[in-house]
Amino acid sequence: MSSESMPNYQGPLPLDAARSLFGLLELSDAAFTRDGPRADVEYRDLGLAASTQGRIGARHIRAIAPFEQETGWHWHDMTGHFNYVLRGWISFRYRGIEGDVTVHAGACLSQPGGVAHNVVGRSDDMELIEINMPAVFGTQDLAAPATGQA
């Protein structure tokens, strides 16, 4: 066996030893909350934070009101940030990239952690799965870039 295919831990691990990391989360519309940073969407935790001991977080985000205002420039203190769009679309603007980056249903955006961005639009039916590493992270607001800079 080559070193590239060696496992990262001794396995297979018996399920009883990993019981705290094993989880099935039954989801319903009742699981959506509005306790997130944006008032025009609602959030549903998908349970990855608990089953990964905080290494990965995932939430289902869906629009509940029309998009009326950009989020403003900000960045997230995380090592990984992924958005998989389930329905509709969402548009971002990034420093250093000309124009908008629009992600449509069925597409996934891998956004490096720490990258300055601004959500500049979305459809009224937008739904996405957001995956973050780690599950708990900080968000820092930024001043808008100077005119002529992305």
CB 94 within 8 A of CB 145: no
Helix, strand counts (H, E) of the chain: 1, 10
Quote the number of domains for the chain. Answer: 1
Q: How many CB atoms lie within 10 A of CB 135?
A: 19
For the stretch 71-108, pLDDT in tens is 999 999 999 999 999 999 999 999 889 999 999 999 99
Q: Which of 25-39, 87-101, 118-132 has the lowest mean pLDDT?
A: 25-39
126 domain residue, yes or no: yes
CB atoms within 10 A of CB 104: 12
Q: Which amino acid is at 95?
A: R
Question: Residue 131: pLDDT above 80?
Answer: yes
Q: Is residue 122 part of a domain?
A: yes
- Residue 37 structural domain: 31-141
Tens of pLDDT, residue by residue over 3-14, are 577 777 676 766
Residue 86 lies in a domain: yes
Backbone angles phi, psi at 5, to 5 degrees: -105, 10
Residue 65 belongs to a domain: yes
- Residue 149: the pLDDT is 54
Residue the block writes with tokens 């018996």 = 14
CATH classification of the domain holding 52:
2.60.120.10
pLDDT tens for each residue of 55-74: 999 999 999 999 999 999 99
The DSSP secondary structure of 79-98, one letter per residue, reads SEEEEEEEESEEEEEETTS-
pLDDT at 1: 47
In a domain, 4, yes or no: no
